[in-house]
């Protein structure tokens, strides 16, 4: 009995498997759409992380400015 291998496209390349019913236009457009969806869904978390980073760096810069020669 010959052994036949079955090629599964979902495991071969991540961008070949499409969960949506819309046809794929290419991996770059899928990546852009997924990135935009991620940014839209997590805008509140991204903005709060940016603000925390912005406000925490001011004190560090001020401290370095005081101790510099």
| 9 or 46, greater pLDDT | 46
| 51 or 18, greater pLDDT | 51
Tens of pLDDT, residue by residue over 7-29, are 555 555 554 444 555 566 777 88
pLDDT value at 35 more than 70 = yes
pLDDT of residue 17: 47
Say which DSSP state 8 is in: -
Cα torsion for 59, 60, 63, 67, to the nearest 10°? -170
| 31 or 13, greater pLDDT | 31
- Average pLDDT estimate for 36-56: 92
Cα R_g (the chain), whole angstroms: 23
CA distances from 37 to 33, 50, 63 (A): 6, 19, 39
């Amino acid at each position: 009995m010959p052994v036949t291998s079955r090629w599964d496209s979902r495991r071969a390349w991540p961008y070949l498997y499409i969960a949506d019913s819309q046809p794929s236009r290419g991996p770059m457009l899928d990546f852009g759409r997924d990135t935009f969806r991620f940014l839209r869904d997590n805008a509140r978390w991204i903005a709060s992380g940016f603000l925390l980073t912005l406000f925490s760096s001011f004190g560090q810069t001020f401290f370095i400015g005081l101790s510099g020669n």
